Structure 1
Amino acid sequence: MAAVATRLRPPLLGLIALAVIVATAPSRASAQLSVSFYANTCPSVFDTVRAGVSSAVTRESRMGASLLRLFFHDCFVNGCDGSVLLEDTGSFVGERTARGNQNSLRASMFSVVDGIKAQVDRACGASVVSCADILAIAARDSVVELGGPSYSVPVGRRDARTASLDAANNDLPSPFEDLDILIRKFRNKGFTPRELVALSGSHTVGFAQCRAFRTRIYTPGADLDPSFAAARQANCPATVGQGDGNLAPMDPQSPNRFGNNYFQALINRRGLLRSDQALFNGTSTDDIVREYSNDAGAFSRDFANAMVKMGNLMPPSNSQGEIRLDCKRVN
């Protein structure tokens, strides 16, 4: 694990007040979402989820980044509907085995969501809160636990009764993709290039497996610092199949603390994934990376707004959904 940066930064945070404004997205408007949706049926839902996330991150510091990633992988496939949480059965194939999920989403993160769901149901006295909402709240609370910005989380989502492996394979960004593909995939979800860069800043926390960056560090180009490549090679053998799951921090300075170090790493040609460095490689997003590297507040504000917008990605209007009793399976 990379050493924590010796120069301490002031907290990026403080509560960022955001009006609950429905973002424009290529799917139906989410006018039914509201921060007060559970005010009568489960007023303690936010406190309960926050306590569950805090406990999970205390047990394992990686869990905050994992829950944030899980939310992204849910919303990017047919909206924020909890479909990524569904397990495969003999008659059902979900999204967990998609290319973008199989070596990225860990069993432990699903267990944490299941545990929080059980705590919420006990606090509410009934199963009235959707798994999709729990995941959205948990993602925000994970960001806060790691030192990132707080923001309002509108709730009232329904859980999907189905999932789409094909959509997951096609829609989820890959660590091997170049900027034009990333821009297209994010634009298809209603995001601008600036929002793409802001959301990519979530890689300021968390780790990636050797299999995701091996090609980059063993066939380095002009966009990769040689000393950084050599350091990563120490824990990532060149031979495919050896050490595939070995981990490296996506932010080499502070992988368990939310901040703007990630963008500074890109400027120094130390982006771990090809898709990271693609944001700063003589391309159209270079100036945004420079801005965020110099202005942590601007990054925090844009990240928080983009997270609210992502949370408003909803399934088609004819998908009414349900409130799952068990996040892993339909009722």
Structure 2
Amino acid sequence: MAAITRSTAFLALAAAVLAVLAGGTTAQQLSPTFYSTTCPKLSTIVRSAMAVAVRKEKRMGASILRMFFHDCFVNLASSYVCSVLTFIYHVLPPGRQGCDGSILLDDTPSFTGEKGAGPNFMSVRGYEVIDTIKTQVEASCNATVSCADILALAARDGVNLLGGPTWSVPLGRKDSRTASQGDANTNLPGPGSSLATLITMFGNKNLTARDMTALSGAHTIGRAQCQFFRSRVYTERNINATFAKQRRRGCPKSGNDTLVSPFDVQTADVFDNAYYQNLVAQEGLLHSDQELFNGGSQDALVKMYSNNGAQFFADFVAAMVKMGNLMPSSGTPTEVRLNCRKVN
């Protein structure tokens, strides 16, 4: 009888927790007009702030774009559920975080966030730009616009301000109430990834190999740290000799790990299709870059993008919208944060 009572209580607790979690959010329907009445000046505020940031430092456009990518790509298992009851993990599927502003959260006593993860530490930058935009948005429409949506708009505007395409950003995201350094470490593709790994990791997010190759074109702007391309420029053979020699000058065999070099030297701060032209010339900076043009399945697509910037822009926009639709799973607690660095 005691065993039955404990089992019944166990199931009751599980059901109660599930009920709470299920009520934590409603399905998020994204629309470009989501804030048209509640915050009509939103797009203008974000665009103006990004224009100031990019004018001050052109690299910031690439930094915010990278931040958005790193936010969307992190999936969190329902560890908070497991900490209450291991049993529930088998009842409630792992939660998918997606584009939820979790990367913006500072560490707390209850979780270690994504900022200190290997792919992000001393690498992802521009948090203060998002803070500035959030302050301005709050002054215009308090407690209305999520940090996740601000980041999505800022990424779009950063691309466009550097000469890239623009697009209608679907809006209506909510902000995560938690983050996980461990999940950031395991979900984000690394600079040494093979083509097969890249295709698999993007496929896990319901993004195709074509989406992956188009999104990789974000490397037409921005920089990489020496520690991430050192091995390529010193040891790999599928690399233009002159290009490798030039990059070694700013990246010694040891030390100076955080010195940065542009992905595309010729047009480092212009969003164009030069990235693909560089790959065809065996001038991809990272190992993972050159994997897209190395005798594999993406060679033909890379060649097409290298010759057709308009097609690259079109595919990049489609892939960005698709990636931006990665949403927290139903039942994941979310909110509209008043401060992007901490939960309410």
Provide TM-score, normalisation by structure 1: 0.88
Structure-1 separation of matches of 2:124 and 2:28? 30
Deviation at 1:145, TM superposition (A): 0.4
Say if 1:88 and 1:44 are closer, same or farther in 2 by CA, change over 3 A.
same
Contact map agreement 1:30 1:314 (CA 8 A) in 2: no
Q: Which of the numbers 87, 104, 107 marks the counterpart of 2:106? A: 87
1:251 is displaced (CA, Å) by 1.3
Separation in structure 1 between the aligned mates of residue 209 and residue 110 of structure 2, nearest angstrom = 39
Cα 1:266/1:38, change in 2 over 3 Å: same
Gaps of 5+ in 2: 1-24, 75-96
Any conservation in 1 of the 2:111–2:180 contact (CA below 8 Å)?
A: no
How many residues are aligned here? 298
SS in 1 for 2:176: coil
Aligned partner (choices 284, 294, 301) of residue 288 of structure 1:
301
Provide the rounded CA distance (Å) in 1 between the counterparts of 2:184 and 2:137.
28
Contact 2:26 2:331 in 1 (8 A): no
1:273 aligns with 2:286: yes
Structure 1 segments (4+ residues) deviating >4 Å: 28-31
Q: Secondary structure at the match of 2:130?
A: helix
Q: CA deviation at 1:40?
A: 1.5
Tell me if the contact between 1:220 and 1:229 (Cα under 8 Å) persists in the aligned partners: no
What's the CA shift for 1:146? 0.6
The structural deviation recorded for 1:98 is 1.2
Q: Work out which of the residue numbers 185, 198, 201 in structure 2 matches 1:169.
A: 185
Higher Cα Rg, which structure: 2
| AA aligned opposite 2:148 | A
Tell me the equivalent position of 2:275. 262
State how far apart, in whole Å, the 2-side matches of 1:30 and 1:180 are: 33
Of all paired residues, the percent bearing the same amino acid is 52
| Structure 2 residue aligned with 1:113 | 130
Secondary structure at 2:148's aligned position in 1? helix
Q: Structure 1: which 5+ residue stretches go unaligned? A: 1-27
Match of 1:12 in 2: none
Maintained 8 Å contact 1:158/1:320: no
- Alignment match of 1:308 (pick from 312, 316, 321): 321
Q: CA deviation at 1:247?
A: 1.0
Correspondences of 1:1-331 after superposition (within 5 Å): 32-77=29-74, 78-106=97-125, 109-124=126-141, 126-221=142-237, 223-239=238-254, 242-331=255-344
Q: Distance in 1 between matches of 2:45 and 2:332?
A: 28
Deviations 1:34-72 (A, max 9, x none): 111111111100110000101000011110000000000
Residues in 2 aligned to 1:273 and 1:123: alpha-carbon distance in whole angstroms: 42
CA distance in 2, matches of 1:70, 1:123: 24
What is the match of residue 22 of structure 1?
none
Residue matched to 1:25 = none
